[in-house]
């Protein structure tokens, strides 16, 4: 079977066969592929001029709905990928992480649409007042880059590796060109086929190069973004590509690193944390046959407990059944390829020169329902290094398989020092039920880690574990781990956006951001804004309310109703030494009274008020002060109907500006409302 390139809107075969794919369990040839002869310049240009252009025309809300639809489509077809995934050596649970974990990334990123405006671009942060009278202000917007995202992915997660990256760039409005590892690209191709068949993404949004892809980076330019996952050595080579340097192309690297799992000093052998630690380390050694960029390579244990931990780990490793995942007894499959077997062996040989092997054999091990010589099998290897400061290869050499090293430490300070010798990790886990120790460890090691998991009995039932990067949190790390970040919720999406400062009059900035800026035009709304449907409301539409003079009775009555008898409201004799001159009105009375002033009570298009953002009380209000409200349409966010029975509606944010008789703002807030649409078909 020939694995083709999906480029320029078609499935195209490369010249010859650059790579042959072999079944990791049986050794039989699965397929072949090549990207030789593909015009990479045309491929990148096609993505820029078709996919990226179409995506940029969509709002964040529309892109989020697109990702959600794609996730639902793929989830219904997930079983298609499991059979082929076995060829990579994956067990059912390994495949679940790769396939359904990848689809889960689409769902998670789709949900981020709620944190973005209903625009093709992002309005970042708060307005900055740059002038005395407020006629000149500044802001920031972030627009999609005008190129493509070029993803160079590793062999170990053929589906997750692609989906976790493209989910982010698609949300940002940038097309992708994916070059998966050629060794497992047959599985990536099967996923891309389903994505293309769905016709959910605009054409050109996703292109696939399953072969070697040599020369691809020769054609990237300043508009593009390159991301790489794999070995630090290869990543550094690509990062220094002359074309990357010449055009200052953003390059995000997520490299394999020497991650650690640390048993806290407080943990006793009869505690639940002790058993959690053994379980977590074992899972990280054997899950995905140790072929995870997040896998535990260094096992740090208090020196008085290391013998016991070693014994428990060996007991579990001895029971590990290696072989064909088709057999239900098998708990660990094969490495992805024979090439990987040789690479892991080479690094095991190096590590063996400086530390003791306490479990495992490179050649003498059994496999179930498979031929050990034909498949890419590798048995777990456990080392012990009693002198980690002198024999430091453990902090420099990574065997990318089921290989890890036990390391003793004296105290938390030394444990942190040992973790840092890895020169940057994607993740470190700390197993402890002592929050003070956890705090000390995290503060001392955060500078060398992209993520830290604190695991104990209180969170273990819902913890996703050491090896699971989560789409709403950053995935990456400093130093050896690559110095970059993938995913990370809104942060990840911003990686594909260009931040630009904008300066001008508030009305101009309001027009650009489609968010009302203080100082902009506030035309009086007629009829009242609560009488208007979603489509009829314009940014800046304002209701100027009647006014109310605050009385002492207001303060007393609100205290009685709310139960808030704070001394500043109720005891004039206690105000000495405070900022208050006399009894002050409750801030929440002002907000409540403001609602009484701006609400039009009759039934209309407004369905409900469901929240308040950014509420501030900026000036004390005493009895005798007169307040009014400027109630302004601040921002509108369209919503898609969930089904035919759903009410067509949108979200409207209103700015509540409460001012006194001097025209000075005394309180300000944003309220969130759902407003019915005039057109109930949308």
**How does pLDDT run across 102-120, given as a tens digit for each residue?**
999 999 999 999 999 999 9
Residues found in the chain: 682
pLDDT digits (tens, 9 = 90+) for 264-286: 999 999 999 999 999 999 999 99
What lies within 8 Å, CB to CB, of 341 at 6+ separation is 335, 376, 377, 378, 401
* C-beta of residue 246 within 8 angstroms of C-beta of residue 239: no
pLDDT digits (tens, 9 = 90+) for 650-661: 999 999 999 999
Active site residue 293: yes
SS3 (DSSP) at 563: coil
pLDDT band at 640 (very low <50, low <70, confident <90, very high): confident
Q: At which residue do the structure tokens 């089921």 appear?
A: 402
- Mean pLDDT computed over 421-440: 97
pLDDT reported for residue 486: 85
| 508-531 per-residue burial string, b: 16 or more CB within 10 A, e: under 16 | ebbeebebbbbbbebeebeebbbe
The CATH T-level fold of domain 39-254+492-497 is Aldehyde Dehydrogenase; Chain A, domain 1 (3.40.605)
Closest to 18 (Cα-Cα) out of 39, 4, 37, 32: 32
pLDDT digits (tens, 9 = 90+) for 370-422: 999 999 999 999 999 999 999 999 999 999 999 999 999 999 999 999 999 99
| Structural tokens at position 118 | 């209903």
Residue 549 has pLDDT above 90, yes or no: yes
Residue 29 has pLDDT above 90, yes or no: yes
pLDDT reported for residue 487: 84
| Structural tokens at position 598 | 């701006």
Strand 403-409 relative to strand 665-676: parallel, antiparallel, unpaired?
A: unpaired
* C-beta of residue 41 within 8 angstroms of C-beta of residue 215: no
- Mean pLDDT computed over 13-29: 94
What lies within 8 Å, CB to CB, of 283 at 6+ separation is 465, 466, 467
Catalytic residue (one of 164, 189, 280, 293): 293
Cα 118 to Cα 140, 156, 211, 318, distances in angstroms: 16, 37, 39, 56
522-676: CATH number: 3.10.129.10
| Structural tokens at position 401 | 């398989």
> What is the rounded average pLDDT for all residues in the chain?
95
Catalytic residue (one of 254, 280, 398, 635): 254
* C-beta of residue 22 within 8 angstroms of C-beta of residue 341: no
- What's the CATH class of domain 259-469? alpha beta
What lies within 8 Å, CB to CB, of 308 at 6+ separation is 269
**What are φ and ψ of residue 320, in 5° steps?**
-70, 120
- Domain locations along the chain: 39-254+492-497, 259-469, 522-676
**DSSP assignment letter at 42:** H
Q: What is the pTM of this model?
A: 0.92
Report the C-alpha gap between 472 and 353 in whole angstroms. 41
| Structural tokens at position 143 | 């627009």
């Amino acid at each position: 079977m020939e694995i083709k390139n999906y480029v320029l809107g078609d499935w195209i075969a490369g010249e010859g066969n650059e790579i042959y794919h072999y079944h990791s369990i049986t050794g039989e040839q699965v397929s072949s592929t090549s990207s030789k002869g593909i015009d990479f310049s045309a491929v990148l240009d096609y993505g820029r001029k078709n996919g990226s252009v179409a995506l940029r025309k969509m709002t964040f809300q529309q892109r989020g709905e697109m990702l959600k639809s794609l996730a639902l489509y793929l989830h219904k077809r997930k079983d298609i990928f499991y059979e082929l995934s076995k060829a990579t050596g994956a067990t059912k649970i390994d495949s679940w992480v790769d396939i359904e974990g990848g689809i889960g990334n689409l769902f998670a990123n789709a949900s981020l649409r709620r944190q973005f405006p209903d625009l093709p671009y992002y309005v970042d942060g708060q307005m900055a007042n740059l002038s005395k009278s407020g006629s000149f202000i500044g802001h920031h917007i972030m627009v999609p880059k005008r190129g493509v995202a070029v993803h160079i992915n590793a062999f170990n997660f053929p589906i997750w590796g692609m989906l976790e990256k493209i989910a982010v760039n698609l949300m940002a409005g940038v097309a992708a060109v994916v070059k998966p590892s050629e060794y497992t690209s047959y599985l990536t191709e099967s996923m891309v086929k389903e994505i293309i068949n769905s016709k959910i993404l605009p054409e050109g949004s996703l292109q696939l190069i399953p072969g070697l892809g040599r020369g691809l980076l020769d054609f990237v330019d300043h508009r593009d973004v390159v991301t790489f996952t794999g070995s630090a050595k290869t990543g550094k080579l690509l990062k220094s590509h002359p074309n990357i340097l010449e055009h200052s192309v953003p390059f995000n690297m997520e490299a394999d690193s020497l991650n650690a799992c640390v048993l806290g000093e407080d943990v006793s052998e009869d505690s639940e944390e002790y058993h959690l630690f053994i379980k977590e380390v074992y899972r990280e050694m054997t899950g995905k046959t140790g072929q995870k960029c997040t896998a535990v390579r260094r096992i740090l244990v208090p020196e008085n407990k290391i013998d016991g931990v070693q014994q428990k780990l060996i007991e579990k490793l001895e029971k590990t059944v290696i072989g064909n995942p088709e057999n239900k007894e098998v708990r660990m499959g094969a490495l992805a390829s024979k090439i990987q077997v040789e690479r892991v062996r080479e690094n095991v040989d190096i590590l063996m020169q400086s530390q003791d092997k306490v479990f495992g054999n490179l050649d003498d091990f059994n496999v179930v329902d498979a031929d050990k010589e034909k498949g890419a099998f590798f048995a777990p290897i456990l080392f012990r290094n009693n002198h980690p400061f002198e024999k430091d290869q453990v902090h420099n050499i990574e065997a990318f398989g089921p290989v890890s090293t036990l390391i003793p430490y004296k105290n938390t300070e030394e444990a942190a020092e040992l973790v840092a010798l890895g020169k940057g990790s994607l993740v470190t886990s700390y197993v402890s039920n002592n929050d003070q120790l956890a705090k000390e460890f995290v503060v001392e090691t955060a500078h060398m880690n992209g993520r830290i998991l604190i695991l104990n009995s209180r969170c273990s039932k819902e913890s996703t574990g050491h090896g699971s990067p989560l789409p709403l949190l950053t995935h990456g790390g400093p130093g050896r781990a690559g110095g970059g970040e993938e995913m990370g919720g809104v942060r990840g999406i911003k990686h594909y956006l260009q931040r630009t400062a904008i300066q001008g009059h508030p009305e101009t900035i309001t027009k650009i951001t489609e968010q009302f800026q203080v100082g902009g035009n506030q035309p009086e709304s007629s009829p009242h804004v609560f009488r208007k449907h979603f489509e009829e409301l314009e940014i800046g539409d304002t209701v100027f309310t009647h006014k109310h003079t605050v009385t002492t009775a207001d303060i007393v009555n609100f205290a009685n109703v709310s139960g808030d008898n704070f001394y500043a409201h109720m005891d004039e004799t206690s105000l000495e030494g405070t900022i208050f001159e006399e009894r002050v009105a409750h801030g929440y009375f002002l907000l409540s009274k403001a609602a009484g002033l701006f609400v039009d009570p009759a039934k209309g298009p407004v369905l409900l008020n469901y929240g308040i953002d950014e509420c501030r009380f900026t000036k004390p209000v005493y009895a005798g002060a007169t307040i009014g409200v400027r109630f302004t349409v601040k921002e509108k966010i369209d919503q898609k109907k969930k089904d035919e029975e759903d009410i067509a509606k949108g979200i409207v944010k209103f700015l509540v500006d409460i001012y006194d008789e001097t025209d000075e703002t005394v309180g300000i807030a944003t309220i969130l409302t759902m407003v019915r649409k005039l057109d109930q078909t949308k």
